[in-house]
Amino acid sequence: MLRTAGLFVLTALAEIVGCYLPWLWLRKGKPAWLLVPAALALALFVWLLTLHPTATGRVYAAYGGVYVAVALAWLWLVDSVRPSAWDIVGAVVALTGMAIIVLGPRHV
């Protein structure tokens, strides 16, 4: 379970970095060479998705909950914006949904 959670967090970080670097280029005037590590991060994101041990639809659904929580951590640590109580409640709801998807009984 801990390995799966760590894999979800790494997957989310790769996606966020892959999207954040082009955003810096487009919105903040940073150098275009940032698109190279952005493309590598997105390729890593896709590869990490293939390492999850369950059906792709279930992985994508569960991943969404982890992505919400990691994005809020990014908001705080990188953008220096402290998440609100509503942000935290939303992350808890998203992670609860993820846990239901991942830990629910399987009849397959």
Residue-wise burial string across 64-84, b where 16 or more C-beta atoms lie within 10 A, e elsewhere: ebbbbbbbbbbeeeeeeeebe
Query: If pLDDT is split at 50, 70 and 90, which confidence band does 77 have?
Result: very high
C-alpha span between 88 and 69 (Å, rounded): 8
Distances (CA, A) of 98 to 24, 26, 60, 62, 104: 30, 32, 10, 4, 10
pLDDT, one tens digit per residue, over 38-57 is: 999 999 999 998 898 777 77
C-alpha span between 108 and 103 (Å, rounded): 14
**pTM of the full structure:** 0.86
Count CB neighbours of 108 within 10 A.
Answer: 4
**For the chain, what is the mean pLDDT?**
91
What was the pLDDT predicted at 103?
84
Q: Indicate if the pLDDT at residue 108 is higher than 70.
A: no
